[in-house]
Every structure is written in C-alpha cells, then in structure tokens.
C-alpha cells in the first residue's frame, strides 16, 4: 500500500498589506503549510502506523517550500518530491487543471493506491485540484472527507463527507482513490525532535517537468488573473473609539440596551 499526499505551501496576508500589480506585495505575505494539508498528512501517517504502507508527499513549489516539506517528513512522511523548474517559476497562474496534469505525471511514476489532498488551499481557495486529479488519472474520489476508514482488503475506503448543515454523507469509495481531506478529521501531531532529526536524512527529490515527461506546454492555461484589489468596505458598523476601558463600557451599555444582559 502506498499513499501520496499532495501538499502546498500557501501565502497568508498580514492585516495591513499593499497590492503590487496582480498580487499582494511579497513583503506582506507569510508562508506556511496549507491548513488542510496538515490534516491530510496526519491522516496518511496514521494509516501508516496502523499497517504497512509508504507515505510519499509531493508539492509543486519553489525551494523555499522545502521548509514545510521537511515538517511533513518530520511528522512521519517517508519521502518527498518537489516539482519545480524555470518554466513553472515563470507561470503566473497554476490553475487546478494544470496542477492536476503535473500531479498526474507524479502519480504515473509513483503508482499510489490512495492520494490524499486538502479540500482547498487557503490562499486561492479553488478547491478543485484533488477532484480534477482523480478524473485525470482515472481514480475514484471523494471531496470534503472528515472521516476515513480504509478497508484495503476489500479495496474500499468508507468515508464521511461533511455536507452543509451538520449532515454527513456516508460513502463507500472504491480504491484507488483521491480523497480531499477536511480540517478536523484528526488531530495533527507536532513534529518530535527525533522526527525533525530523522527528516534531515529522508529523501527529498526535485523533479522538473521534463523529468516527469512533460514540457512547458503543460502549463498553458486559459485562465488569466487580470486584476486584484481590496474590495470596497460594505461596513456601516458603528465603531466604538477609545481605550479598551472606554470601548468596553460602551459595549456593556449596548448589551444592556439590547436586553441580553441584566442591569
């Protein structure tokens, strides 16, 4: 059994930021492992601890991303692949279909039984790469999975899909499959010191498009970002001004007036 986990390093914007052209100025961005991917990694590592299996992570990202990949290795991922080259670096928008094509080439090499992705990446929130990948490689799939019980012998994954309104759908999914993992499915562990040490000697291979049998044409996309701007505030909130002491008194008065607190 082999599990491939796709991970992405995402950018988070600070409260105060400036837009430079089509993106937030890099000075105001902080990079971190995508929240949803943390849960996907944990799920894969837990499956590995329950039985024999290899866990490989793959990311499409620049050298900077190796920091987050090492964290995945420290938490129990066996091996990591980072796909990058000059052509990818020069591409503005990697849309989900493009990422799916690149990841499909990795799947062809790795031949996993299960692919775990996050539901979405916290920065662009497309929420489409996992399912697009499944369709591209001919795997079954399930999106927004918040419970997974793998029955490798029967070749199925029994999952819960988290729907709206506190309802979960129970679904049986044939393997091989791609599952997009929802936050809360498990409790991601912290990397241990021992894990962090071991991660240093785990393989982290860099693949270029041509290593994967692809060329720059694979990156062509009909999607083009043409603008980014801060939306005009629709806020008509009354903002209480002053020190915390003063604003707190105003809020307390408001709550009394609204009749939700005594006094």
Partner 1 sequence: MSDVLAVAEHRQGELRDVSFELVTAGRQIADQQGGELHLAVIGGDAETFATELNLDGVSVIHTVDAGEEFNHDVYTQVTEQLFEELQPGTLLLPNSVNGLDYAPAVASRLDVPLVTDAIGIERDGETEVTREMYGSKVETTIEIDSDAVAVSIRPAEWAAAEAAGDADVQAFDADIDESAVGSTVTGFEEVAGGDVDISEAEFLVSIGRGIEEEDNLPLIEDLVEATDATLSSSRPIVDNGWLPKNRQVGQSGKVVTPDVYLAIGISGAVQHVAGMKGSDTIVAINTDPNAPIMDLADYAIVDDLFDVVPQLIDALE
CB of 108 to partner 1, least distance (A): 16
Residue with smaller CB distance to ligand FAD, 112 or 130: 130
Two tokens, residue 234: 């629709």
> Measured at CB, which residue is nearest to ligand FAD?
119
Closer Cβ to partner 1, 116 or 132, answer by number: 132
Sheet holding 177-181, edge to edge: 156-162, 140-151, 177-181, 114-118, 2-6, 54-60, 79-83, 204-207
Q: Answer with the entry of ligand FAD, partner 1, none that 225 interacts with (C-beta below 5 to 8 A by kind).
A: partner 1
Compare residues 147 and 198 and give the one whose CB is closer to partner 1.
147
**Residue from the set 68, 120, 129, 146 that interacts with ligand FAD by CB under 6 A:** 120
State which residue, 49 or 245, has the beta carbon closest to partner 1.
245
Between 94 and 144, whose beta carbon lies closer to ligand FAD?
144
Contacts for 144-153: CB closer than 8 Å, 24+ residues apart: 144/119, 144/180, 144/182, 145/179, 145/180, 145/181, 145/182, 145/185, 146/181, 146/182, 146/184, 146/185, 147/185, 148/43, 148/179, 148/181, 148/185, 150/47, 150/114, 152/1, 152/51, 152/113
Tokens of 10: 């995402």
Does 204 bind ligand FAD (CB under 6 A)? Our answer is no
Question: CB 111 → ligand FAD: shortest distance, Å?
Answer: 30
Segment 137-176, which members bind ligand FAD (CB under 6 A)? 144
Work out what residue 192 binds among ligand FAD, partner 1, none; the CB cut-off runs from 5 to 8 Å by kind. Answer: none
Residue 82 C-beta: closest distance to partner 1, Å: 23
CA dist 171 and 161 (Å) reads 7
Residue 64 DSSP SS3: helix
Which residues of the shown chain bind ligand FAD in the complex (CB under 6 A)? 15, 119-120, 144
């Amino acid at each position: 059994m082999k599990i491939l986990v796709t991970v992405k390093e995402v950018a988070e914007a600070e409260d105060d930021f400036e837009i430079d052209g089509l993106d937030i100025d890099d000075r105001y961005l902080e990079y971190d492992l995508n929240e949803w991917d943390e849960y996907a990694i944990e799920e894969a590592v837990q499956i590995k601890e329950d039985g024999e299996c290899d866990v490989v992570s793959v990311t499409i990202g620049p050298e900077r991303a190796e920091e987050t990949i090492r964290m995945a290795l420290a938490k129990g991922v066996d091996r990591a692949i980072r796909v990058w080259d000059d052509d990818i670096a020069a591409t503005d928008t990697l849309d989900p279909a493009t990422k799916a094509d690149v990841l499909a080439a990795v799947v062809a090499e790795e031949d996993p039984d299960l692919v775990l992705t996050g539901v979405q990446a916290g920065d662009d929130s497309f929420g489409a790469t996992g399912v697009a990948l499944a369709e591209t490689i001919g795997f079954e799939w399930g999106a927004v999975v918040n419970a997974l019980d793998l029955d490798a012998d029967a070749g199925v994954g029994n999952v819960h899909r988290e729907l709206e309104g506190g309802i979960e759908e129970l679904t049986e999914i044939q393997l091989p499959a791609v599952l997009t993992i929802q936050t809360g499915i498990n409790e991601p562990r912290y990397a241990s010191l021992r894990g962090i040490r071991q991660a240093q000697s785990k393989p982290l291979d860099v693949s270029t498009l041509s290593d994967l049998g692809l060329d720059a044409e694979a990156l062509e996309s009909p999607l083009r970002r043409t603008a980014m701007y801060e939306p005009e505030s629709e806020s008509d909130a009354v903002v209480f001004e002053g020190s915390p002491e003063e604003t707190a008194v105003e809020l307390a008065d408001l709550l009394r007036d609204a009749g939700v607190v005594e006094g």
